Amino acid sequence: MKATATAPSNIAFIKYWGRKDEVLRLPENGSLSMNLSGLQTTSTVEFSPDHTEDHIEINGTQEPNERSRVTQHLDRVRALAKIPDFAKVVSQNNFPTGTGLSSSASGFAALTVAATKAAGLDLSEKELSILARQGSGSACRSIPGGFVEWLDGDTSGTSYATSLHPPDYWDLVDLVAVVSKERKDVSTSLGQTLANSSPFFPVRRAHMQKKLEYAKTLLAEKNLPGFGELIEAEALELHAIMLTSRPPLIYWTPNTLAIMKLTKKWRAAGLPVYFTVNTGQDIHLICQQDSMELVKAKLADIDGIKEVIVNIPTVGTKVISDHLF
């Protein structure tokens, strides 16, 4: 039993930070995201009685640090399908891994869909989102397409992602400025456990639902100035929590900060572009299609940018081949 799936990473406009349940990966707040066309993971999963253990290959190498999480997720699939077989997993990202570009989101979304298909399961989008969440919280947002909300449920069955708008709803562009391809020192999964150590986290938690509803309203209106200003403030608030955690999480590099400042200068000069940052050093610049080429040109003039990845809203995780027998 073998299947291949491809999954997009996603950029969270309203971020998820902190978990109310570590085992089920239930978030402290709901979130809002967009699936990214240029950041993709392709994973093939094969269950076979011939395998004597799970074989896990990520980006051409065996990843001992990821083996436990992947095996645990395969165990969830085996339990659902009631099969004993070990699996071979081959996964490839087309973008830097472990730099804050949500490679675990696309990785576990692709793993979930490929593994369930290979195991002979026929799960709904909601069921796939719930399952993907248990591997990596933000993976649940990569299952549906386009612009996505992750619902803040208090149980496993009520915490899942759903599509608010299809990919072609709004002509937003996300240009990722890769300032470093080095893996960050502290993983997002570990960083999540530090959220409550920040003295400002209760303040953040108290206003998140109101912020999320406002973001959804601005998205529905396609109000780029309002939406852009909100997502910038949200990114800075998230990193304020990280900076004041114990121990503190400092993900930015000098170039991350430089691009933030330049974005504000460009906007003051009339270019409608806004930034957001996930849990890493690479920075996302959000604009509309008619501004994309100018933003790309601005980024090309900055020393220290390793790569610019252009994304538009895209579909969710899908099976691209299956070989069931």
**Helices 201-221, 224-243: crossing angle, 10 deg rounding:** 160
Q: Is the pLDDT of residue 99 over 80?
A: no
Predicted local confidence at residue 102, as pLDDT: 86
Average pLDDT score over residue span 39-47: 97
Length of the chain: 325
Residue ranges covered by each domain of the chain = 1-325
Residue 198, token pair as written in the block? 């920040």
**Average pLDDT of the segment spanning 291-301:** 97
Is this model's pTM higher than 0.85 or not? yes
% residues pLDDT > 70 (the chain): 98
Q: What are the DSSP E strand ranges found in the chain?
A: 2-14, 19-21, 26-27, 31-48, 55-58, 61-62, 86-93, 147-150, 161-165, 172-178, 274-277, 283-288, 307-311, 318-323
The answer to whether 7 touches 106, Cβ cutoff 8 Å, is yes
Write out pLDDT tens, residues 116-149.
999 999 999 999 999 999 999 999 999 999 999 9
Task: Kindly tell me the sign of the dihedral angle through the C-alpha atoms of 111, 113, 117, 120.
Answer: positive
Q: Given a cut of 80, is residue 100 above it in pLDDT?
A: no
> DSSP code of 313?
B
In the predicted structure, residue 42 carries a pLDDT above the cut 70: yes
In the prediction, which pLDDT does 66 show?
A: 73
Burial of 65 from C-beta contacts in 10 A (0-12 / 13-18 / 19+): exposed
Strand pairing class (307-311; 172-178): antiparallel
Q: What is the CA radius of gyration of the chain?
A: 19
pLDDT at 251: 94
Kindly report, residue by residue over 54-94, the tens digit of the pLDDT.
999 999 888 666 789 999 999 999 999 999 999 999 999 99
Q: How would you list the strands of the sheet with 307-311, edge to edge?
A: 274-277, 283-288, 172-178, 307-311
Mean pLDDT of the residues in the chain: 95
The helices-and-strands tally (H runs, E runs) of the chain is 8, 14
CA–CA distance, 131 with 152 (Å, rounded to integer): 15
DSSP annotation string for 131-153: HHHHH-GGGGGGSS-SEEEE---
Q: What is the pLDDT of residue 321?
A: 81
Does the pLDDT of residue 309 top 80, yes or no? yes
**pLDDT class for 325, splitting at 50, 70, 90?**
very low
Distance of CA 83 to the CA centre of its chain: 30
For range 40-45, the mean pLDDT: 97
- Residue 198 neighbours by CB under 8 Å, 6+ apart: 240, 241, 242, 244, 245, 246
Please provide the distance, in angstroms rounded to a whole number, between the alpha carbons at the two ends of the chain: 6
Q: What pLDDT is recorded for position 323?
A: 62
**In the structure encoding, which two tokens stand for residue 250, read together?**
């400092």
Q: Which class would CATH give 1-325?
A: alpha beta
pLDDT tens digit sequence for 241-256:
999 999 999 999 999 9
Going from the C-alpha of 10 to that of each of 1, 169, 306, the distances in angstroms are 29, 16, 20
What digits encode the pLDDT tens for the residues 203-233? 999 999 999 999 999 999 999 999 999 999 9
| Mean pLDDT, residues 280-284 taken together | 94
At residue 324, the pLDDT reads 45
pLDDT of residue 63: 67
Distance from C-alpha of 8 to C-alpha of 107, rounded to nearest angstrom: 9
Residue 248, token pair as written in the block: 């503190």
Confidence grade of residue 111 (pLDDT, cut at 50, 70, 90) = very high
